[in-house]
Chains A and B, each alone.
Chain A
Amino acid sequence: MKLTFPHMGSIYIPISALFRHLGIEVIVPPPSSQRTLSLGSKYSPEFACLPLKVNVGNYIEAMEQGADTIVMAGGVGPCRFGFYGEVEREILKDLGYDFEMIIIDPPQGRIRPVLKQLGRLVGPARVRDVIYALRLCWEKIAAIDQVEKLAVKVRPLEAIKKQTTKAVNEILSKIDGAETIEATRSALREGLAILRSLPKAEGPPPLKVGLVGEIYVLLEPFANLNVETRLGELGCEVERSIYLGDWIKRHVIGDIFRLRRHNRIEDLAKPYLGHFVGGHGLETVAHTVDYARRGFDGVIQVLPLTCMPEIVAESILPRVSRDLNIPVLTLVFDEHSSDVGVITRLEAFVDLMRQRRGNMGELRECVATLV
């Protein structure tokens, strides 16, 4: 068995570690590129959203390298994603590929079917090995999140352009190469030290921008045309509403053990949207409210074209923006998106936030003289 899976940001690092330690040969698809997208768009329905097209491209490129088994997540709810594994299998079958597809549905409190699917993968591995593999996988997820969270704070201050991104790529490849929990931890320690020691430039304090939206486009820099990096290079500290570790804690672990924890974040959306609309629509509205209350300079929503949950959120965000006095920019991505258009909008949005901050600075000075 030569196993592969679709890309989503850095998720290939923990996932490939997990399967490698279960004794399975893993073929990581080549990083998503224009070729991936061209292949995917060619064979996918036109009105499917960007994630499906990139997935299909990933599979084809992995199978060119000999992969014969695909692991894909399933899903429930109004978002089409739940059906993507099935559609992708049919597309690849029609193309004549010989492979097996394992679709892992969310447990929704029933762990047995999940274990059954996983059991096909685990095979003869011993329980001790399975536990170690899971622990290593988790360790890597946590390490990546920490690196990415520090990188967004360092990037707007970097003295040499693009050095943060370069360092992050090197650190991530070390974390990817670490074969034990210990090695992962030391790669993380070294990485964080490197990021902290990068030379800083003098300048105005960075703007704070919240990034919200659909999980795939949010986590995959290829899909969002590197919006997080670009904002950083324009002098913004970016906080993403979804990091892999937090998301897994809530949705996978929470789901398995049926932890219906009361969630504060979703309550924030109440005045605007009171119920689940699929995907991350509700969270998008909630996090925008949260960022506004925490005094962020702006919020950027990213979504793939035709994403229903995010369109619901998009239509609500102008009201949130007006009520809470926070600028919101929506960026929609599909296979036709171009760098030039995105850069222009991001630059203009950064100008807008700077101007606002300038005025608010004056306002604060006025208040100070009054007092």
Chain B
Amino acid sequence: MRGYLGIDVGSVSTNIIVMDESDNVIHSIYLRTQGQPIKMIQQGLSEVAALYPDMKVLGVGTTGSGRVLASVVVGADCVKNEITAHAVASAREIPDVQTVIEIGGQDSKIIILRHGVVVDFAMNTVCAAGTGSFLDHQATRLGIPIEEFGGLALKANVPVRIAGRCAVFAESDMIHKQQTGHRIEDIIAGLCEALVRNYLNNVGKGKEILPPVVFQGGVAANAGMTRAFEKALGFPVIVPKHHAVMGAIGAAILAKEEVARNPRPTRFRGFEVKDNEYAVSTFECKGCPNRCEVINLSLQGDTLARWGDRCGRWSSQLP
């Protein structure tokens, strides 16, 4: 089989997808990053290698906050920020999409497209209220598996009003509502509505949200959130089949475009990557008062990449 790999390394999850030559996603892997992105990339690649032992990789794309690290580890043909990757994947899935709502583990973003072109975007800044990690935490606290969390919200009679501006205060408000005896379904539905309100007021502020709206990212698995968005926006919200790995899909599509634009063999290091010994170390450069923290990535003792220096003193020593 011939195809492309898309790798999205985020703070919470690491996703890898295998895409065939006709842009079909034939396999997707969703792993918890757990602070060990290199290990997770290797684990994901060994799964791909085990499933498709004869796979010929034509191109690899990386995205997410760990995109640079991932690109050096696997040898990527295209390294792209997650905003562009999500927009590309979404426009491929729903060609006339005008708004993309993306809520992941730590990030939430909104992307506005018109005629297939990104015209505006925004990302949450300092606050992660309403992202996957927070929902996860609440599910654990209530002893409900996260997979059932959204379904419970749909069983609500009258959603309770929860203060959703800040995750910490939302939690205390939820506890207060529990103690006044509200049904758990109503509280969860109320929480979803609060998080949607928070998203629309902070991330989506000032943006023209027009349908079709695509809702993606890990949180899109939560039916309660989708329902709350539809209620707030007043029109249906589309959750794509591969909503949790859209970033990786976008990365694969971009890698395919890149390889088509500049025909050359892929930079992919091969599936042996899964057995390599990578080591990351950092040091403070004392060359000038900037005191940059320089990160050094090495493979079996050979330096592969350095980054973090503002002047290029260290990174430019490498090809």
Classify the interface of chain B: helix, strand, loop or mixed. Answer: loop
The reply to whether the CB of A327 lies closer than 8 angstroms to some CB of chain B is yes
Quick check: A347 and B117 within 8 Å, CB to CB?
A: no
Query: B176 to chain A: which residues have CB within 8 Å?
Result: none
Quick check: A165 and B81 within 8 Å, CB to CB?
A: no
**Which of B159-167, B211-219, B223-231, B309-317 forms part of the interface with chain A?**
B309-317
Query: B290 to chain A: which residues have CB within 8 Å?
Result: 31, 33
The reply to whether the CB of B185 lies closer than 8 angstroms to some CB of chain A is no
The reply to whether the CB of B118 lies closer than 8 angstroms to some CB of chain A is yes
Distance in Å from the Cβ of B94 to the closest Cβ of chain A?
A: 18
Query: B118 to chain A: which residues have CB within 8 Å?
Result: 348, 351-352, 355
Measured in the bound complex, the distance between the Cα atoms of B259 and A277 in whole Å is: 51
Distance in Å from the Cβ of A350 to the closest Cβ of chain B?
A: 9
Distance in Å from the Cβ of B256 to the closest Cβ of chain A?
A: 17
**A31, A226, A348 — most chain B CB neighbours (10 Å):** A348
The reply to whether the CB of A341 lies closer than 8 angstroms to some CB of chain B is yes
Quick check: B289 and A345 within 8 Å, CB to CB?
A: no
- Contact among A166, A327, A348, A356 with B81 in the assembled complex (CB-CB below 8 Å): A348
The reply to whether the CB of A336 lies closer than 8 angstroms to some CB of chain B is yes
Quick check: A166 and B311 within 8 Å, CB to CB?
A: yes
Measured in the bound complex, the distance between the Cα atoms of B311 and A229 in whole Å is: 10
The reply to whether the CB of B206 lies closer than 8 angstroms to some CB of chain A is yes
Known: A31-B290, A162-B311, A351-B84. A356 touches B117 (CB 8 A): yes
Quick check: B289 and A355 within 8 Å, CB to CB?
A: no
The reply to whether the CB of B83 lies closer than 8 angstroms to some CB of chain A is yes
The reply to whether the CB of B291 lies closer than 8 angstroms to some CB of chain A is yes
Q: Mark A207-251, 1 if CB is under 8 A from B, else 0.
A: 000000000000000000010010000000000000000000000
- Contact among B125, B206, B289 with A332 in the assembled complex (CB-CB below 8 Å): B125
The reply to whether the CB of B282 lies closer than 8 angstroms to some CB of chain A is no
Total interface residues in chain A, CB < 8 Å: 33
Distance in Å from the Cβ of B217 to the closest Cβ of chain A?
A: 15
The reply to whether the CB of A117 lies closer than 8 angstroms to some CB of chain B is no
Interfacial residues of chain A within 323-368, with CB under 8 A of chain B in the complex: 327, 332, 336, 340-341, 343-345, 347-349, 351-352, 355-356, 359
Q: Mark A147-180, 1 if CB is under 8 A from B, else 0.
A: 0000000000000111001100100000000000
Query: B125 to chain A: which residues have CB within 8 Å?
Result: 332, 341
Quick check: B311 and A352 within 8 Å, CB to CB?
A: no
Which chain B residue lies CB-closest to A221?
Answer: B310
The reply to whether the CB of A306 lies closer than 8 angstroms to some CB of chain B is no
Quick check: B119 and A352 within 8 Å, CB to CB?
A: yes
- Contact among B84, B126, B311 with A347 in the assembled complex (CB-CB below 8 Å): B84
The reply to whether the CB of B30 lies closer than 8 angstroms to some CB of chain A is no
Measured in the bound complex, the distance between the Cα atoms of B65 and A344 in whole Å is: 8
Quick check: A359 and B117 within 8 Å, CB to CB?
A: yes
Query: A186 to chain B: which residues have CB within 8 Å?
Result: none
Distance in Å from the Cβ of B79 to the closest Cβ of chain A?
A: 9
The reply to whether the CB of A34 lies closer than 8 angstroms to some CB of chain B is yes
The reply to whether the CB of A318 lies closer than 8 angstroms to some CB of chain B is yes
Measured in the bound complex, the distance between the Cα atoms of B117 and A349 in whole Å is: 12
Quick check: B81 and A351 within 8 Å, CB to CB?
A: yes
Quick check: B123 and A345 within 8 Å, CB to CB?
A: yes
The reply to whether the CB of B82 lies closer than 8 angstroms to some CB of chain A is yes
Quick check: B316 and A162 within 8 Å, CB to CB?
A: yes
The reply to whether the CB of B134 lies closer than 8 angstroms to some CB of chain A is no
Which chain B residue lies CB-closest to A356?
Answer: B117
Measured in the bound complex, the distance between the Cα atoms of B316 and A321 in whole Å is: 38
The reply to whether the CB of A30 lies closer than 8 angstroms to some CB of chain B is yes
Measured in the bound complex, the distance between the Cα atoms of B205 and A318 in whole Å is: 10
The reply to whether the CB of B120 lies closer than 8 angstroms to some CB of chain A is yes
Query: B120 to chain A: which residues have CB within 8 Å?
Result: 321, 327, 352
Query: A336 to chain B: which residues have CB within 8 Å?
Result: 126
Measured in the bound complex, the distance between the Cα atoms of B291 and A30 in whole Å is: 12
Quick check: B206 and A33 within 8 Å, CB to CB?
A: no
Query: A226 to chain B: which residues have CB within 8 Å?
Result: 310
Query: A31 to chain B: which residues have CB within 8 Å?
Result: 288-290
Measured in the bound complex, the distance between the Cα atoms of B112 and A322 in whole Å is: 13
Measured in the bound complex, the distance between the Cα atoms of B311 and A226 in whole Å is: 11
Q: Mark B166-191, 1 if CB is under 8 A from A, else 0.
A: 00000000000000000000000000
**A34, A315, A322, A352 — most chain B CB neighbours (10 Å):** A352
Quick check: B119 and A166 within 8 Å, CB to CB?
A: no
- Contact among B82, B121, B206, B316 with A352 in the assembled complex (CB-CB below 8 Å): B121
Query: A229 to chain B: which residues have CB within 8 Å?
Result: 310
Query: B126 to chain A: which residues have CB within 8 Å?
Result: 336
Other than A165-B312, A347-B83, give 18 A-B pairs with Cβ distance below 8 A.
A31-B289, A162-B311, A169-B311, A226-B310, A315-B206, A321-B120, A332-B125, A336-B126, A341-B123, A343-B81, A344-B82, A351-B80, A351-B81, A351-B83, A351-B118, A352-B120, A352-B121, A355-B117
Q: Which residues of B contact A (CB under 8 A)?
A: 65, 80-84, 115, 117-121, 123, 125-126, 206-208, 288-291, 310-312, 316
**14 A–B contacts, CB within 8 A, in A order:** A31-B288, A31-B290, A161-B312, A161-B316, A226-B310, A229-B310, A318-B206, A341-B123, A344-B123, A348-B118, A349-B121, A351-B80, A352-B119, A352-B120
Q: Which 3 A-B pairs have the closest CB atoms?
A: A162-B312, A348-B83, A318-B206
Q: Which residues of A contact B (CB under 8 A)?
A: 30-31, 33-35, 160-162, 165-166, 169, 226, 229, 315, 318, 321-322, 327, 332, 336, 340-341, 343-345, 347-349, 351-352, 355-356, 359
